[in-house]
Amino acid sequence: MPTPSPSPALTSKEISDWVRKLNYGTWKFQKSWSPLHVVDAEGCYFIDGQGKRYLDFSAQLMCVNLGHKNQAVIESIAAQARALPYIAPGYATEVRVDLSRLLLEVLPKGLEKFFFATSGTEANEAAFKIARMYTGKTKIIARYRSYHGSTTGSIAATGDPRRWAMEPAWKGNGVIFSPEVNCYDCPIKHTYPGCGIACADYLEHMIVNESDVAAVLVETVVGTNGVLVPPPEYFPRLRQICDRHGVLLITDEVMSGWGRTGKWFAIDHWNVVPDILVTAKGITSAYVPLGLCATTSKIAAYFEDHLFAHGHTYEAHPMTLAPAIATIHEMQRLKLVERAHELGGYLGEKLQALTKRHPSIGDVRGIGLFWAVELVKNRKKKQPFATYRDKIEGKPLLVDQVAGAMMKEGVCIQSWVSHFVIAPPLIITKSEIDTGVAALDRGLALADQQVET
Ligand SMILES: Cc1ncc(COP(=O)(O)O)c(C=O)c1O
């Protein structure tokens, strides 16, 4: 089928220029933005206005888990548009029942009541309000290496410097930060396993010394900030700590959910059930905007006699729910959770092998089809090529240079400060993994030249 073009008279350059002129480019100095004109996408590839194909090695923003243009999901959107494109959230619909019952099957057991939002950040906002209303407490303990979204509450809970623009006057109140779990570059200078998971103990110290803590908020596997996978003891310990102090555990699975780590949800690796789980992105393979805030029935019971003081016009929007059902069915039909587990080993080995050839690689870590390659000037000192401040100040970054070189070769990869996040669609094949890793291999020559000798 020919690709529909809304502006056939415009060249690719004109389309890029118009977008740049009339729209904001997110999280960047506007003068540095020159958006690539994209006309089509299929499977693990997208195609630019010149007809050039790019392997989508990070599934856009780690979200197109089914790959592009999955026909079953597309059909579900069309069918729902014909059946009932919109009805207010106060009404009951079959599509809502069908998705909710499917969620009971795939989510960690014990999460039994759902609020549907239209993004990860909104789902987090719902989680914070629910936690605060339920506990009657205010504070949320988040971690420095984290991203939870751009709206007022979520950006206040974001540990990374995307928060800084709101500090201090415009930042939402009530969030404090604990050290993250980072066994490669521990913020409190411990070494696993000798540390005895001191980062979790310190978090308990914070709960004890702060009054009024409603919840602990963690990305189950930290995403953009470097695919930080906690050691086996971390989540069971965190669960005990939260229970001991009557604090809720909120796990943000916006990026790590939906098969990405080789389980339906990353928390399943630790057999821990959070009080609230937040997710989005892969829930519809990003074809339509949907976020989910799932709670236990204990939390749900509280709101039987208390006002559930939250909502949106687009809550439980039928057009967002139908593709989530289709996405789950497609994941089951194609056995994508199992596939992410199996292919994750293959991708991990290939990335690990790069460390031998490239002195610029400090660490390779990951789980399932979710990996980070961290670059360092000096492997011994674990010194990155750039700091978070460099990123926020718009300084040119080496990782962006490497990603640019890979783009020229037709491989798109997400770069962030001094690492890459590799998270391809879960339908990726071994030979496509080979292509992506080979492009990274060549691109890293640029970084190797800048290693301190
Ligand atoms: C872990 C995590 N939480 C929340 C968000 C925010 O999601 P959204 O961009 O849909 O608001 C993101 C986005 O990347 C994320 O990675």
DSSP string, 22-76: HSPPTTS-GGG--PPPEEEEEBTEEEETTS-EEEETTHHHHT-TT-BT-HHHHHH
Place of tokens 């490239």: 358
- Best probe residue, ligand 1, of 61, 116, 118, 147 (max atoms within 8 Å of C-beta): 147
pLDDT confidence of residue 3: 56
pLDDT confidence of residue 354: 98
Percent of the residues in the chain that have a pLDDT greater than 70, as a whole number: 98
The string of pLDDT tens digits covering residues 328-378 is 999 999 999 999 999 999 999 999 999 999 999 999 999 999 999 999 999
Distance 5 CA to ligand 1 centre (A): 30
Looking at the predicted structure, is the pLDDT value of residue 2 above 80? no
Distance 224 CA to ligand 1 centre (A): 9
Measured CA distances, 172 to 157, 177, 206, 275, 429 (Å)? 8, 14, 20, 23, 44
Which residues make Cβ contacts (< 8 Å) with residue 25, sequence separation at least 6? 32, 33, 35
Residue 299 CA to residue 166 CA, distance in Å, equals 31
Distance 147 CA to ligand 1 centre (A): 7
Q: 285 CB less than 6 Å from ligand 1?
A: no
* Mean pLDDT calculated for residue range 243-252: 98
Nearest to 44 by CA among 66, 67, 71, 28: 67
- Name the closest-CA residue to atom 4, ligand 1: 148
* Mean pLDDT calculated for residue range 208-223: 97
- Contact (Cβ atoms closer than 8 angstroms) between residue 109 and residue 145: no
Distance 305 CA to ligand 1 centre (A): 32
- Best probe residue, ligand 1, of 125, 228, 254, 314 (max atoms within 8 Å of C-beta): 254
Ligand 1 atom closest to Cα of 224?
16
pLDDT confidence of residue 144: 96
pLDDT confidence of residue 365: 98
Ligand 1 atom closest to Cα of 122?
11
Nearest to 219 by CA among 274, 161, 137: 274
* Mean pLDDT calculated for residue range 234-245: 98
Distance 199 CA to ligand 1 centre (A): 24
Q: What is the pTM of this model?
A: 0.97
Residue 213 CA to residue 247 CA, distance in Å, equals 6
Q: 224 CB less than 6 Å from ligand 1?
A: yes
Q: 123 CB less than 6 Å from ligand 1?
A: no
Measured CA distances, 306 to 250, 301, 428 (Å)? 21, 9, 47
pLDDT confidence of residue 250: 99
Residue 422 CA to residue 361 CA, distance in Å, equals 14
* Mean pLDDT calculated for residue range 196-217: 97
Looking at the predicted structure, is the pLDDT value of residue 5 above 70? no
- Name the closest-CA residue to atom 16, ligand 1: 255
105-119, 169-183, 245-259, 312-326: segment of lowest average pLDDT: 169-183
Residue 328 CA to residue 104 CA, distance in Å, equals 12
Nearest to 295 by CA among 274, 314, 276: 276
Ligand 1 atom closest to Cα of 281?
10
- Name the closest-CA residue to atom 13, ligand 1: 149
Q: Which residues pair with 116 in a beta bridge?
A: 292
Structure tokens at 179: 């050290």
Residue 385 CA to residue 403 CA, distance in Å, equals 14
Q: 419 CB less than 6 Å from ligand 1?
A: no
pLDDT confidence of residue 157: 98
Residue 274 CA to residue 134 CA, distance in Å, equals 15
Distance 117 CA to ligand 1 centre (A): 12
pLDDT confidence of residue 453: 83
Looking at the predicted structure, is the pLDDT value of residue 1 above 50? no
Q: 121 CB less than 6 Å from ligand 1?
A: yes
pLDDT confidence of residue 169: 87
Ligand 1 atom closest to Cα of 289?
10
Place of tokens 């790069």: 354
Q: 257 CB less than 6 Å from ligand 1?
A: no
Residue 395, classified by CB atoms within 10 Å of its CB into exposed (0-12), middle (13-18) or buried (19+), is exposed
* Mean pLDDT calculated for residue range 72-94: 98
